[in-house]
Amino acid sequence: MKKLNVIIVIAFMAIASTSFAQNTEVLFFKAKLSCCQAKACNELEGNIKTIVEKHFANNEVAFRTINLADADNKTLAEKFNAKSQTVVIVKSDKSLDITDQIASYQGAKDKDAIEQKIVNKIKSFL
């Protein structure tokens, strides 16, 4: 009986550790502005999401869009002083605003170099 209890505890711990492994998120804050409706925000959102999915395919990092117009997101937006196109990496109780790198990505001639900077910033949180 004791062996069975030990096995159950070990199995539970293994399941719990895998379900909580993905605790790093890339948050993309988005507003309903005319530029968003003209595809600028949507394009940037898609680019950042693609970067996260491409380099973190094992789901160790989640990408999440936060709509600033949604009242449920007000506290989160205030916490990160977010405006439209703000991008923040979050893990547990620490965060890093990488909006500057994201802004340079949109206008960059060498998108690969900027993409690598973004990936390195995210990896520093893992």
pLDDT in the model for residue 102:
81
Amino acid sitting at position 53: E
Q: What is the pLDDT of residues 2-46, one digit of tens each?
A: 554 444 445 444 444 444 445 899 999 988 766 555 577 788 888
- Tokens representing 28 are 């993309």
Which is higher by pLDDT, 9 or 65? 65
CA separation, residue 94 to residues 11, 15, 25, 80 (Å): 30, 25, 11, 11
pTM as predicted: 0.76
pLDDT tier at 97, thresholds 50, 70, 90: very high
Q: Kindly list the domain boundaries of the chain, sorted by start residue.
A: 23-123
pLDDT tier at 93, thresholds 50, 70, 90: confident
According to CATH, what is the number of the domain 23-123? 3.40.30.10
